[in-house]
Chains A and B, each alone.
Chain A
Amino acid sequence: MACIEARGLRKSFGKTVALDGIDLKVEPGRILGLIGPNGAGKSTALNAILGLVPYEGNLRVLGRNPWTERNKLMQDVCFIADVAVLPRWMRVTQALDYVEGVHPRFDRAKAEAFLARTTIKRTSKVRELSKGMVTQLHLALVMAIDAKVLVLDEPTLGLDLLYRKQFYDSLLNDYFDHSRTIVVTTHQVEEVQHILTDLMFINRGRIVLECSMEAFEERYAELTVNPANLAAARALKPIYERQAFGRTALLFDNADRAQLSALGEVRTPSIGDLFVAVMGTDNSAPKGAVAA
């Protein structure tokens, strides 16, 4: 059974369509990156999955209807919606006590062990912690919950590089195993590229690209072309072209790698470059994007 399955998922706020009938299927053990510009509908999709907003269409998370069964679903689904949601008046010990008191799958010893590796004091209030520490605390709470699905909505927003790196390291090393599923949205795509197993681009309420990372690596190639071969490379119909350090980088979809490597240096593109390319051709080019 798929962990998350949506068919024709639709949500509008007044006249604004936030989700325009998307289909989605996430299998257990996957780490899905949901990438899109601001206002693309990512958070709306996550909120629907978490039972925070009503929606139209068919949506099942772990076999349950999130809107009507949110409190049962939350026994198996955790989320960090962004760093600012832990109540600021709460003490660290109170957070541990509370989650232990209401969550049947919370393992306090595990959370304590995780916190012991940080500099967070038990008696501190959330408002006294730095932004990075608040995220560490939230992660400690969430990682100690034996959940099947973890939803992260911009979990590392506003954190410095060190905390961001630690966040994903902890998640991968201490938490993730192949019985869990993680869905993450972020703008810091380069940091999640190596941890994702699946990739989904979403724009204006629609899915514009959906593939596994293996498929991504097979399908897309970036050629840093030797200037002399530029015309030949362009003839192979790149989907996107950009200038980097005086050289031209071309992005190809389903091109023959052997053919490309004759023209210059070939590598797997970053998700960020593909994102700009795909969003650029999605007829709403953000400024600066070059549609090829």
Chain B
Amino acid sequence: MSIEADVGTSPAARAVAPATPAQTRPFAWSVRRELWEYRSSWIAPLAAAGFVLFGVSMGLMRMTHASRMISSLPPEKQAAIHMIPYAIAAAAIGLTSTIVAISYCLGTLNNERRDRSILFWKSMPVSDLTTLLAKASLPLVVLPLIAFVVTCTTQLVMLLLGAGAQLAHGHDSAQAWATVPLHLMWAFDFYILATLTLWYAPIYAWLLVVSGWARRGAFLWATLPPLALCVVEKLAFDTSYAWDLVRYRLGGSFHEAFVNMGPHPFGQHQMNFRLPQADPEKFFSAPGLWLGLAVAAALFALAIYLRRRRELV
């Protein structure tokens, strides 16, 4: 810093400056800055994919014996067995992404008050609505999209690895391509991520509210009061509506999104493994979905209110 005025703004210089302000994109930049701050949003799914691929490679190395056994099975059972690792990969990445989303929602509004950076964000011409929309877009749009792309890529790499291993063992690699219908799997990945995200929207909104409200211990505030409600209800009225509601919200999306799921959605026995059959009509007509989205919208409005008014921690 020196005292020369070479970058100063003389009134003359400002007079020639364009009168119309530059175009800005507050929403896009707000999303981008969330990704800068919470780098785990893309690092964690990538890491999960790395572990999956590591495990798959290890598995392929000792595959010869098992594959001989499998090749004696009828073709449809072979196909089912081949699908299992792909389903595990999708589940691992999806679960990682969900955990990241939960951690993000609990942290974001709390951290900016804790480190006082909220004063910087609020010194910019970005409304609380835009900011909260950007924050909500992470668990609702950005993270599921990242999970989807990472899952698809991982499954593709798995298929290539599998085909490579087949070739190395002198088998016809066309078999690997034939038994794993990649496009169907990708569609399935998309459907399951989309339904899960919509189903969890009220959970994410609740976590944002707690994050914006709590001074500290956001995780405890988010989890213990609902739990306490369940316990009190059980003891006082010997009913378990609250507990059922919690369970339904945590696991209900699989039940609502697929046909005839039964107690073990992915098949009771590995030999019977199949892709569950998607039932979008059932999902989108489930009252639980729309009630959940309405609750999410209300909680989202509350989170905006809190960000406007809540003081620093």
Residues of A that sit less than 8 Å from B by CB: 50, 52-54, 70-75, 78-82, 84-91, 94, 97-99, 101-107, 110, 113-114, 117-118, 136, 139, 146, 163, 166-167, 169-170, 173-175, 177-179
CA distance A139 to B120 in the complex (A): 12
CB-nearest residue of chain B relative to A140? B1
B281 is an interface residue with CB less than 8 A from chain A: no
Q: Is the CB of B36 within 8 A of A89?
A: yes
Q: Is the CB of A79 within 8 A of B309?
A: no
User: With a CB–CB cut-off of 8 A, which chain B residues contact A79?
Assistant: 119, 123
Q: Is the CB of A174 within 8 A of B124?
A: no
A14 smallest CB distance to B (angstroms) = 12
B8-16, B82-90, B218-226, B246-254 - interface stretch: B8-16
Extra contacts, 16 of them, besides A101-B24, A114-B1 (Cβ < 8 A), are A72-B125, A74-B122, A81-B119, A85-B120, A87-B37, A104-B22, A104-B125, A106-B22, A136-B1, A146-B9, A163-B1, A173-B3, A173-B4, A174-B8, A174-B9, A175-B8
B99 smallest CB distance to A (angstroms) = 21
User: With a CB–CB cut-off of 8 A, which chain A residues contact B36?
Assistant: 89-91, 94
B29 is an interface residue with CB less than 8 A from chain A: yes
User: With a CB–CB cut-off of 8 A, which chain A residues contact B1?
Assistant: 114, 117-118, 136, 139, 163, 166-167, 169-170
CB-nearest residue of chain B relative to A79? B123
Q: Is the CB of A54 within 8 A of B3?
A: no
Q: Is the CB of B126 within 8 A of A102?
A: yes
Q: Is the CB of B117 within 8 A of A87?
A: yes
A90 smallest CB distance to B (angstroms) = 7
B5 is an interface residue with CB less than 8 A from chain A: yes
User: With a CB–CB cut-off of 8 A, which chain B residues contact A110?
Assistant: 7, 9
User: With a CB–CB cut-off of 8 A, which chain B residues contact A54?
Assistant: 309
| Interface Cβ pair total, 8 Å cutoff | 126
**Other-chain residue from A70, A118, A175, A177 in contact with B11 (beta carbon distance below 8 A):** A177
A238 smallest CB distance to B (angstroms) = 38
User: With a CB–CB cut-off of 8 A, which chain A residues contact B21?
Assistant: 75, 104-105
User: With a CB–CB cut-off of 8 A, which chain B residues contact A71?
Assistant: 125-128, 130
CA distance A170 to B2 in the complex (A): 7
Assuming the contacts A81-B123, A114-B7, A174-B5, asked whether A102 and B26 have C-beta atoms less than 8 A apart, the reply is: yes
B238 is an interface residue with CB less than 8 A from chain A: no
A167 smallest CB distance to B (angstroms) = 7
User: With a CB–CB cut-off of 8 A, which chain A residues contact B128?
Assistant: 71
12 A-B residue pairs with Cβ-Cβ distance under 8 Å, sorted by A, are A70-B122, A74-B123, A78-B123, A79-B119, A85-B118, A85-B119, A87-B37, A87-B120, A167-B1, A174-B5, A174-B9, A177-B11
User: With a CB–CB cut-off of 8 A, which chain A residues contact B309?
Assistant: 53-54
CA distance A222 to B12 in the complex (A): 42
User: With a CB–CB cut-off of 8 A, which chain B residues contact A84?
Assistant: 115-116
B74 smallest CB distance to A (angstroms) = 55
Q: Is the CB of A102 within 8 A of B11?
A: no
User: With a CB–CB cut-off of 8 A, which chain B residues contact A81?
Assistant: 116, 119-120, 123
User: With a CB–CB cut-off of 8 A, which chain A residues contact B17?
Assistant: 107, 146
Assuming the contacts A173-B4, A175-B9, asked whether A102 and B124 have C-beta atoms less than 8 A apart, the reply is: yes
CA distance A91 to B24 in the complex (A): 20
Q: Is the CB of B116 within 8 A of A85?
A: yes
B30 is an interface residue with CB less than 8 A from chain A: yes
Q: Is the CB of A98 within 8 A of B9?
A: no
Q: Is the CB of A88 within 8 A of B122?
A: no
B168 is an interface residue with CB less than 8 A from chain A: no
CB-nearest residue of chain A relative to B7? A113
CB-nearest residue of chain A relative to B27? A102
Q: Is the CB of B125 within 8 A of A75?
A: yes
Q: Is the CB of A86 within 8 A of B28?
A: no
B25 is an interface residue with CB less than 8 A from chain A: yes
B71 is an interface residue with CB less than 8 A from chain A: no
CB-nearest residue of chain A relative to B118? A85
User: With a CB–CB cut-off of 8 A, which chain B residues contact A85?
Assistant: 116-120, 123
User: With a CB–CB cut-off of 8 A, which chain A residues contact B127?
Assistant: 70-71
A114 smallest CB distance to B (angstroms) = 6
CA distance A79 to B17 in the complex (A): 23
Q: Is the CB of B24 within 8 A of A104?
A: yes
Assuming the contacts A118-B1, A146-B14, asked whether A74 and B124 have C-beta atoms less than 8 A apart, the reply is: yes
CA distance A206 to B130 in the complex (A): 36
**Other-chain residue from B7, B37, B118 in contact with A174 (beta carbon distance below 8 A):** B7
Q: Is the CB of A86 within 8 A of B120?
A: yes
User: With a CB–CB cut-off of 8 A, which chain A residues contact B30?
Assistant: 102
Q: Is the CB of A103 within 8 A of B116?
A: no
Q: Is the CB of B116 within 8 A of A89?
A: no
User: With a CB–CB cut-off of 8 A, which chain A residues contact B268?
Assistant: none
User: With a CB–CB cut-off of 8 A, which chain B residues contact A173?
Assistant: 3-5, 8
